[in-house]
Amino acid sequence: MIKTVRTVMLLLLLGQLWVMAQQPSVTAPSAKDETTRKSPVQIGETAPDFTLEDEEGRTVQLAAARGKMPVVLIFYRGWW
């Protein structure tokens, strides 16, 4: 029963991600807007560009993937 529920939830999540990927992108705010942002990014709004290191120390920039492939951002507290 639990395995079935997990499978259904995973399928629903994947379906939602696919639908979101099919929607036209929202124009990114200007750099001035990013420096004065006081509220979190809203649903459907384009994420602001940022650069971080991955678990292997390589620099990854959001703008490098934007428009080339679907991007799912997951933030969690890692051990690296």
How much is the pTM?
A: 0.40
Q: What is the pLDDT of residue 54?
A: 81
Q: Mean pLDDT of residues grouped by 10 in the chain (80 residues)?
A: 81 77 58 64 83 86 85 72
With a CB cutoff of 8 Å and minimum separation 6, the contacts of 53 are 59, 60
Q: What is the pLDDT of residue 43?
A: 85
In contact, 17 and 38? CB cutoff 8 Å = no
